[in-house]
A and B are shown apart, each in its own frame.
Chain A
Amino acid sequence: DAGVIQSPRHEVTEMGQEVTLRCKPISGHDYLFWYRQTMMRGLELLIYFNNNVPIDDSGMPEDRFSAKMPNASFSTLKIQPSEPRDSAVYFCASRSGYMGNTIYFGEGSWLTVV
């Protein structure tokens, strides 16, 4: 069974550009999470969805960040405009609400904003 799939794996962009990160959760999972990881702050939850509905976006750092989940198999995290301090690894993770609290991570999107 395929795991969580993220794209792009690596992105280098210039400050001010729009960045869109994509995620396909594990089939059948009804929870989807977006985390950001930096050396200084570790893994931080940005937003999570249940059955495609955003439940808590209090971790989204600024209005420049937005996330959508139009259907059960696809989510996007958008940064517009991007800034150098957004450079981080962005992980998407998913979980089945019926099988405990273990979450499964995608391979991450490594973002560098120059």
Chain B
Amino acid sequence: QKEVEQNSGPLSVPEGAIASLNCTYSDRGSQSFFWYRQYSGKSPELIMSIYSNGDKEDGRFTAQLNKASQYVSLLIRDSQPSDSATYLCAVNYEAGNTPLVFGKGTRLSVIA
């Protein structure tokens, strides 16, 4: 059973702080990793993808991947109230065009 685990939260951080969201996955052979953001009542939208060990930065967002530990994280710097949403971690378990497996998401609340 291929699983993606996330803490459901809520994770509350003050405005301007760094929010750290974590995700673990069950299969060492996993190939690619994604973070989606989902506002209440809306559909998931892609924030970042990461394929190699290490960090990948895009604006205020940094994705971190550690394949040895089967761990992927998302850091949000200078958190804003508009970042309040549920963040979904998704994993592509096999090479090639296979579906993404999603975690249940972590709800983030940024307090002004």
Contacts and interface: CB of A to CB of B under 8 A. Distances in A.
Given A42-B105, A43-B88, A103 B100 contact: yes
Given A48-B99, A97-B97, A102-B34, A43 B46 contact: no
Interface in A7-43: 31, 33, 35, 41-43
Interface in B92-109: 92, 97-105
Interface string B71-100: 000000000000000001000100001111
Interface residues on A, range: 20 to 34
Nearest to B92: A101
Nearest to B86: A42
B43 A106 contact: yes
Contacts of A100: 32, 49
A2 to B, nearest CB: 14
Interface in A65-107: 91, 95, 97, 100-107
Interface centre among A43, A45, A56, A95 (most CB of B within 10 A): A43
B56 to A, nearest CB: 14
Contacts of B99: 33, 45, 48, 56, 103
6 contacts: A41-B104, A43-B102, A48-B99, A102-B34, A103-B100, A105-B43
Interface of B: 31-32, 34, 42-46, 49, 88, 92, 97-105
